[in-house]
Amino acid sequence: MSKNKDTVVSLSKHKIACKDCSLFQICLPVGINGEELERLEQIIQRRRPVKRGDHLYHGGEPFRSIYAVRSGSVKSYVPTKNGNEQVTGFHLPGELLGLDAINNKMHSCSAKALETTSVCEIPYDEFELLSNELPVLHRQLIMLMSKEIFEEETHTLLLGKKSAEERLAAYLFSISSRYHRRGFSASEFYLSMSRNDIGNYLGLAVETVSRMFTRFQEEGLLSVERKHIVIHDLERLKMMTGAVPGKGGEQFFCLRSS
Amino acid sequence: MSKNKDTVVSLSKHKIACKDCSLFQICLPVGINGEELERLEQIIQRRRPVKRGDHLYHGGEPFRSIYAVRSGSVKSYVPTKNGNEQVTGFHLPGELLGLDAINNKMHSCSAKALETTSVCEIPYDEFELLSNELPVLHRQLIMLMSKEIFEEETHTLLLGKKSAEERLAAYLFSISSRYHRRGFSASEFYLSMSRNDIGNYLGLAVETVSRMFTRFQEEGLLSVERKHIVIHDLERLKMMTGAVPGKGGEQFFCLRSS
DNA sequence: AGACAATATTGATATTTGTCACTTTCGTTA
DNA sequence: TAACGAAAGTGACAAATATCAATATTGTCT
């Protein structure tokens, strides 16, 4: 039990059962019955919200837990030799972090909150033990990891060949879809990450990102005011990503929505 | 049990027990005991080698199996609207394919052999059933998927910010390490993929790839003759990738070796 | 509120890479 | 073996983006 008032307030405010969590069907889409869920909940720790700039873990630290974002957002990055960092991903509500560390038993990147963020922490050892009795948990994790691999692939697709315009369009479309899935508006949202982070993630100079936002706005595609984005033509944005597969491919549109 | 002669012949030719397979410790690194292994082997199908250009699966097809490359190499790609394709990955011996399809139950990309290639096929339904009894199988799959996610992240790192030089260097270093791990030379190997595929994967024009190879050769970094590569200075190649993390980071060097 | 630091935007210029056109080499098939 | 088409390499040029420099805006701290 924490001692200061702040924490107590936060805990009481955030102690929500999984089944009442708005992310329930994102975290646990497959059939988990009541008793199984209860046992899972017993090992899940709901951490006090972390402040902007705080770390969930650092690269090189031993791996102990998987995290699920409840609210807020987190960025993953790797520090590089020249004192810079390379951003490897952003994590929005309902998304998991730390999956890349299971195999190494060590975190390969650092995770930093981009804003006040609350997460669920799932201690991996306990999860493993429980999974021996409840194979459905393993199955669920495998599904989520598959989705993660699929999405990384999408990101490869994004960075692979495209122009700055296509990259930023694809990025915005991805963010939009992810917020939408989480129950928020697809056409209006705040970008919690800086232009710097976006450019870094997309392999573009900050200035190029700025210019692209300006161009998009001039073209009437969207309105942008710092971090506040309103997309006026989502369909055109999607087209601009250039990621629509060819013949017979409409059924597996690959610039994913979730 | 298969019925037609063709299959029987192939099976007899390629029926090698997992424990005798040179990829054993790559596929199944953790402790699986004899009986468990035997039961796993019963569901693994060793397919007759596929010829260069043949597909293991196409994007949009229902997902049925995971594949492990035994020998040869495979490329994954997504067809795009303009009739081109976007290469999303290469798979060398000891590596798995199809993990991205578990969640969707549908393949999101196509997989094509770059040369004569033999694979093990693991029907996923049967794997799931068996895993209910042997949780170690699930655990192993999760480890392998974690590794996959880690490597995708590495690829993000590769494409994120780097110049053409850094990209090609990182690519060659990755291929080198993966061959090395499989027991081949780290400094001399054949690139089974075309310049076109490499360029596509790295987000570079074919001509740029060619020019970079030429430059690398002029600099004495390597010798290249079409697909045959000899690397003269692996250490310098590694440095050129620019992926060395900063302070205290040597322990989690992120441009991975496997 | 004021001041400072961080972030974002804009413009001018340099560099890199892509595109186009052509040549060479290789591999396959007749 | 010859001939063809595909893949690879090279050069000239154009286009896209990075870099550098300056300014504007925002957020934060006192």
Q: Which of residues 195-254 of A touch strand D (CB under 7 A)?
A: 203-205, 207-208, 225-226
Residues A144, A167 within the same domain: no
Do residues B95 and B69 make contact, with C-beta atoms less than 8 angstroms apart?
yes
Mean pLDDT of A46-51: 85
Average confidence score pLDDT of chain B: 83
Instruction: Look up the pTM and report it.
Output: 0.85
Please indicate, yes or no, if residue A193 is contained in any of the structural domains: yes
Mean pLDDT of B173-186: 91
Please indicate, yes or no, if residue B258 is contained in any of the structural domains: no
Residues B198, B131 within the same domain: no
> For residues A241 and A80, what is the distance between their CA atoms, to the nearest angstrom?
29
The integer distance in angstroms from the CA atom of B197 to the C1' atom of C30 is 29
Point out which residues pair with A228 in neighbouring strands: A190, A225
Is there contact between B257 and strand D, defined as CB under 7 Å from any strand atom? no
Mean pLDDT of B183-191: 93
Average confidence score pLDDT of chain A: 83
The two tokens of residue B163 are 């110049």
Q: What is the reported pLDDT for B79? A: 85
Residues A107, A188 within the same domain: no
> For residues B158 and A110, what is the distance between their CA atoms, to the nearest angstrom?
17
Do residues B244 and A81 make contact, with C-beta atoms less than 8 angstroms apart?
yes
Which range, A237-251, B180-194, B204-218, has the best average confidence (pLDDT)? Answer: B204-218
Q: Which of residues 141-200 of B touch strand D (CB under 7 A)?
A: 194-196
Q: Band of the pLDDT at B125, cuts 50, 70, 90?
A: very high
Residues A176, A130 within the same domain: no
Domain of B191 in residue numbering reads as 162-252
Residues A82, A48 within the same domain: yes
Residues B97, B168 within the same domain: no
Q: What is the reported pLDDT for A216? A: 97
Q: Band of the pLDDT at B113, cuts 50, 70, 90?
A: very high
Q: Band of the pLDDT at B14, cuts 50, 70, 90?
A: very low
pLDDT in tens, B61-105: 999 999 999 889 999 999 877 678 899 999 998 889 999 999 999
Please indicate, yes or no, if residue B181 is contained in any of the structural domains: yes
Number of domains chain B is built from: 2
Do residues B229 and B190 make contact, with C-beta atoms less than 8 angstroms apart?
yes
Residues A58, A145 within the same domain: yes
The integer distance in angstroms from the CA atom of A184 to the C1' atom of C15 is 42
Is there contact between A196 and strand C, defined as CB under 7 Å from any strand atom? yes
Residues A34, A104 within the same domain: yes
Identify the residue whose tokens are 């004192």. A83
Residues B168, B145 within the same domain: no
Residues A19, A103 within the same domain: yes
> For residues A229 and A169, what is the distance between their CA atoms, to the nearest angstrom?
13
Instruction: Calculate the alpha carbon distances from A247 to A251, B80, B201 in Å.
Output: 10, 8, 21
